Structure 1
Amino acid sequence: MDSHEGTWISPDGNSINQIDHIMIKKKFRSALFDTTAFIGADCDFDHMLVVGELSVKLKSKRLTKIKTTKPNIEKLEETDVRNTYAINLQNRFGLLEEKEITLDWETKSVVTEIAMESLGPCINARTRNNWFDKECRSAAERRKCCRMKWIADRANID
């Protein structure tokens, strides 16, 4: 058996079997070109990573994405800004009290508009939590080196 056909190595390292497979729908079977098992992939168990190569023609749908900006709600912690925002809301809804106010999209848009005027746009709307720092990267590299050494030692047993 070719080394790239085997997907599982026995614990003693003497036998390699093909027990993992790729399942694909019948209508896509002509799109699957090649499958292979990666021996050096860091999967952290005795099975190997099985990868298949697909060639699929997809139809594209053009979706128009509306870019929205959020108001900077952190500014509400400042007393002056909070008071200005409250006064602007009271003034705007004071004018609307003559009509019947219902909780609908029009009311929501008025509140959002006032928030954007009073608070301004949020500059860092999407901040990422950078938990994967240098320490995590070095630990992953040490783990990868140990795994590659373990794979090399098992290969020398044969």
Structure 2
Amino acid sequence: MMISKRYRNALLLAKTYPSADCCSDNVPVVGKFKLKLKKNSKPFINIKFDLAILKTNQTIREKYQISVQNKFEALGDAEEVEQQWENFKSAIMEAATEVIPKVKRKAKQKWMTEEILNLMEERRCAKGNKEKYEQIHKKVQEKCNMSKDQ
């Protein structure tokens, strides 16, 4: 296992797994490290609104227009440009959250079939015969791509 000098003392254990099926002629190596990781902060997730509904649904469009108009009338005149922008942005976002529905996330479809799993098992058994392994590997890739596209 090749490792940088900086992390040489952090490597506790290294193992190889020659029987693993990973679509490669290489042998996977697993290492155990002693590290302190930096805490990641969660990224800000933008709320996505279904804006297409404003074009199709007349009642929602009218409600949104009235809501935005009421919010703008309630705003005071701010002298600074930044304050005006914050007021404008908050008025539009509040009106949108009240009236416009959010975009619903589509669930991913399962594409791994029993046929693909059987081919993968057959490919794993053919690891000693390179030609047969490559043929089965091509079949597995084709089946995976076909099922992902559907």
User: Same fold judged by TM-score > 0.5?
Assistant: yes
Partner of 1:79: 58
Partner of 1:88: 67
Using structure 2 for the length normalisation, give the TM-score: 0.61
Q: Is the 8 A contact 2:75 2:87 kept in 1?
A: no
Change (3 A) 1:56 1:68: same
Partner of 1:5: none
Partner of 1:31: 10
Q: Is the 8 A contact 1:40 1:151 kept in 2?
A: no
Partner of 2:148: none
Q: Is the 8 A contact 2:72 2:88 kept in 1?
A: no
Figure out how many residues of one structure are paired with residues of the other and give that number: 127
- Among 22, 39, 50, the alignment partner of 1:43 is 22
Q: Which range moves more in the overlay, 52-61 or 95-104?
A: 95-104
Q: What letter is aligned with 2:68? A: L
Coordinate RMSD, CA, aligned: 3.5
Q: Is the 8 A contact 2:10 2:33 kept in 1?
A: yes
Report the identity percentage.
26
Instruction: Deviation per CA, 1:60-117: give whole Å up to 9, x if none.
Output: 47x5877875545464332101111022223333454866796723321111101111
Change (3 A) 1:56 1:116: same
Q: What letter is aligned with 1:42? A: D
Change (3 A) 1:94 1:101: farther
Change (3 A) 1:58 1:91: closer
Structure 2 unaligned segments of length 5 or more: list them: 131-150
Change (3 A) 1:88 1:101: farther
Name the larger-Rg structure: 1
Whether 1:144 aligns to 2:120 is yes
Q: Is the 8 A contact 1:33 1:53 kept in 2?
A: yes
What is the CA–CA distance in structure 2 between the aligned matches of 1:99 and 1:114, rounded to whole Å? Answer: 20
Partner of 2:32: 53
